[in-house]
Amino acid sequence: MRRLWARVWLRHTALVVLVIALVAVFVVANRDSDGGHLAANRAQLRKACDGTLPYADLKRLVRDGRAGELSQHGTMLEPGQESRSLLDCELSWGDGYGVTVHAEALVSDVPEGVETDDLLGTAGADGTYVAPGTTGQYGRRGAWLVAECVDGLRGRVRPTTDLYVAARVTDGDSEADSAAEREELARAERAAALTGFRTAVHVANAITKAQGCGSTPLKAPTEVLDTYESHDDNGDWRSERIEEPGRDLRKCGWINARSLPGVMPGAWTTLGDLQESGVVSACQGTWDSEAEENDGRHPADWQITGVEAASWAGILGRTAYDAYEREGHVPGWGVSQNQGKPAGDGKGDGSVGAAAQGEDRISSYVEDPQLALWARSVCGGRETYHRVSVMPSILIEDGATAILGAKDRAQLSRTARTALNRYLSAADGWPKAAGCRDTKVLGEVEEWH
């Protein structure tokens, strides 16, 4: 009888062991397919993209549910992974969480918009962030920056000192319907912008260190600024307010009716870029029709109510000039004046271009007619382009044309020249801070042809 119970007990024991084993296998299998990947994914993050990613900034994105997916190539990786880029890397963990990085040694223009409106953030208007002290921006495609490798970058046939890095961080898929959800989404977007900039800076510093190119490491930003901040009044999207953090910056204070004879008298508002960069800057001034001081005033035809000034050094200068050239808006495409004359003492030389000798007809189809004056300097040891433009007030009915007479045309020219001189000599302006010298005026562009 004891033997029979022993056999029964052994059978039950074996069955229990088998059940436990099957449960263990199921748990392990379920874990491998639906969870338990956190440690491996974090280890992957440390090594991915040639170890250039900022682990401390990105570890919060790592998911546990499935194994991370990594795709990478570039000249920084193992032999056989060479490409035109130094690094192309994408790491994702599903559900919209991931990071994408691109880095290249630039032998041509920066692959981003850098015209005056782009620098001010007014071109895209919505969702543009900058990180003060970092030359670059954040938009729909993520954060980008440019940095200089003073002793040169390897990895391309042509030698270059210019490094471009772009980084996009995605923090989950989300949609917003209510005001509270939109506010939360805005906070998430700001966080993604900051993480994107910090990732791009970390990658740039890793590349310049690996290449030993003598560059000072970039500082990782601690904040980002929205070029156009929107707020809901009383939680109602219909009463949304827009603020411009770039208003009334000291570097743009030279744009006012007192220092620029020929512009519309009264109160002006100014807007400047927020990058705080040593290689790029922009200012814009507009006569403020809503200011109490200007109440009841109306500009006459061709009265100047807008002024812009921007500077681009190094590869950004070449990129900006090429961008305007593609639009036909650089000297040589139209009538130019003062070709080759150095910038004066701010008093203006009174010379008048050929187009100002007679009348010019401007079609209503021309958007924002303006006169731009280009110059070139050496700023901080880099070749730098400056563009100053004046914008007159003119109302042209659809299908009609406006006539710009010789007197008004000459006034535009004088004011543009005065604006350039004021911009270059302003005590708090960017050109002074950058130590610009050896300025040569390149010519005018009539942006209405």
Q: Give the pTM.
A: 0.85
Give residues with Cβ within 8 angstroms of 295, minimum separation 6. Answer: none
Distance CA 69, CA 66 (A): 9
pLDDT value at position 240?
A: 55
The pLDDT of 76-93, averaged and rounded, is 81
Give residues with Cβ within 8 angstroms of 443, minimum separation 6. Answer: 331, 332, 336, 337, 338, 339, 373, 374
Q: Residue 19, SS3? A: helix
Supply 46's token pair. 């440390």
pLDDT digits (tens, 9 = 90+) for 333-371: 544 444 444 454 444 433 434 444 578 989 888 888 999
Q: Is it the case that residue 127 has pLDDT exceeding 80? A: no
CA-based nearest residue to 109, from 282, 335, 316: 316
pLDDT digits (tens, 9 = 90+) for 288-313: 998 989 888 899 999 999 999 999 99
35-39-41 Cα angle (round to 5): 80
Q: Which ranges of 35-120 would DSSP assign to H, the alpha helix?
A: 38-51, 55-58, 116-120
Distance CA 55, CA 43 (A): 10
Residue written as token pair 């307010």: 241
Average pLDDT of the chain to the nearest whole number = 84
Confidence at 242, pLDDT banded by 50, 70, 90: low
